[in-house]
Amino acid sequence: MTETRSKIFRGEVVSDSMQKTRVVKIERYFKIPKYGKYIKRSKRLKAHDENNEYKVGDKVVIQEVKPMSREKRWKIVSKI
C-alpha cells in the first residue's frame, strides 16, 4: 500500500462568520501556452478551525483532510 501526501496551500481568510469553519481564498497563477500570458485564478475553500482562532485577513496554511462535512475537506494548519 502506498501513502499519498496531502495537498497543502497558502491563502487568506475571507470569512469567519461560521463556527469552527473559515473560508480561505487561494490564488494561483498559471501560463496560457498559446499566448504566453500569465493569469490569476482564485478559489474559496472551507477549512476547519477547531478553536475559532483565525480572523478575516489572516494569512494561513491549509491542508487536505478526509471530508468533515459536505463542503469541508481542509483544515487550517498554521498562521503565516
The pLDDT confidence band at residue 4, using thresholds 50, 70 and 90, is confident
List the grid coordinates of 74.
481542509
Parse the chain into domains and list their residue ranges: 8-79
Nearest in space to 24 (alpha carbons), one of 64, 67, 66, 68: 64
List the grid coordinates of 55.
480572523
pLDDT digits (tens, 9 = 90+) for 9-55: 999 999 999 999 999 999 999 999 999 999 999 999 999 999 999 99
Give the Cα separation of 80 and 73 in Å (integer): 20
In this structure, what DSSP letter does residue 75 have? E
CATH superfamily of the domain spanning 8-79 = Nucleic acid-binding proteins (2.40.50.140)
Predicted confidence at residue 1, as pLDDT, reads 65
Give the Cα separation of 76 and 23 in Å (integer): 10
Q: What is the pTM of this model?
A: 0.89
Q: Evaluate whether 60 touches 11 at the Cβ level (below 8 Å).
A: yes
Predicted confidence at residue 3, as pLDDT, reads 76
